Amino acid sequence: MDSDIKMKALDIVIFGGSGDLSLRKLMPALYFLYGRGEIDEGCRILGLSRGKLDRDAFRAQVLEKLKLYLGADYNAAQAEAFAGLLDYRDLDISDNRSWDKLKAYLDPAGARAVIYYMAVPPTLFAPVCEQLGHNGLNWDSSRLVVEKPLGEDTDSAARVGEILSSVFQEGQIYRIDHYLGKEAVQNILAFRFEDGRVETIWNRDHIENIQITVAETVGVEGRAAFLDRAGILRDMIQNHLMQILCFIAMDRPKSLTADDVRDQKVRIVQSLRPITAQNIQDHVVRAQYGSGVAVSGYQQEIEGMDIAGNGEVFIAVRVYVDNDRWRDVPFYLRTGKKLSKRFARVVVQFKAGEAISRVIFNTDMTIQIEEETISGVVQNKRIPDAYEKLLGDVIAGDQSYFVRHDEIIASWKWIDGIRKAWDAAPLEMYEYAAGSMGPNASDDLLAIAGHKWFEE
Ligand code: BG6
Probe target for ligand 1 pocket from 148, 240, 337, 403, with the most ligand atoms within 8 Å of CB: 240
Q: Please write the tens of the pLDDT for every residue from 89-101.
A: 999 999 999 999 9
- Residues with Cβ within 8 Å of 138's Cβ and at least 6 positions away in sequence, in order, are 132, 144, 167, 168, 172
The one catalytic residue in 178, 240, 283, 405 is 240
Ligand 1 atom nearest to CA at 182: 14
Whether CATH 3.40.50.2000 fits 180-382+405-447: no
CA 60 / ligand 1 centre spacing (Å): 28
Probe target for ligand 1 pocket from 21, 25, 150, 178, with the most ligand atoms within 8 Å of CB: 178
Conformational region of residue 404, where left means phi above 0, alpha means psi within -120 to 50, and beta covers everything else = beta
CA 437 / ligand 1 centre spacing (Å): 17
CA 179 / ligand 1 centre spacing (Å): 9
Separation between Cα atoms, residue 165 and residue 18, nearest integer Å = 27
CA 211 / ligand 1 centre spacing (Å): 19
Separation between Cα atoms, residue 183 and residue 339, nearest integer Å = 23
Ligand 1 atom nearest to CA at 344: 16
Is 178 catalytic? The answer is no
Q: Please write the tens of the pLDDT for every residue from 9-35.
A: 999 999 999 999 999 999 999 999 999
Ligand 1 atom nearest to CA at 386: 14
Topology of domain 5-147 in CATH is Rossmann fold (3.40.50)
- The residue whose CA has the least distance to atom 8 of ligand 1 is 235
Percent of the chain with pLDDT over 90: 84
Most confident region among 331-340, 346-355, 377-386 by mean pLDDT: 331-340
Cis peptide before 127 (omega within 30 of 0): no
DSSP letter string over 38-65?
Answer: SS-TT-EEEEEESS---HHHHHHHHHHH
Q: Which of 100-114, 129-143, 223-237 has the lowest mean pLDDT?
A: 100-114
Cβ < 6 Å from ligand 1: which residues?
Answer: 178, 216, 235
Ligand 1 atom nearest to CA at 178: 14
- The residue whose CA has the least distance to atom 15 of ligand 1 is 216
Calculate mean pLDDT across residues 357-379: 68
Its pTM stands at 0.94
More confident call, 355 vs 379: 355
Ligand 1 atom nearest to CA at 342: 16
Calculate mean pLDDT across residues 214-239: 95
CA 140 / ligand 1 centre spacing (Å): 32
Positive or negative, the CA dihedral 85, 89, 91, 95 is negative
Q: Please write the tens of the pLDDT for every residue from 145-183.
A: 999 999 999 999 999 999 999 999 999 999 999 999 999
Inter-residue contact 192 to 165 (CB < 8 Å) = no
Residue intervals of the chain classified under CATH 3.30.360.10 are 180-382+405-447
Residue intervals of the chain classified under CATH 3.40.50.720 are 5-147
Inter-residue contact 144 to 150 (CB < 8 Å) = no
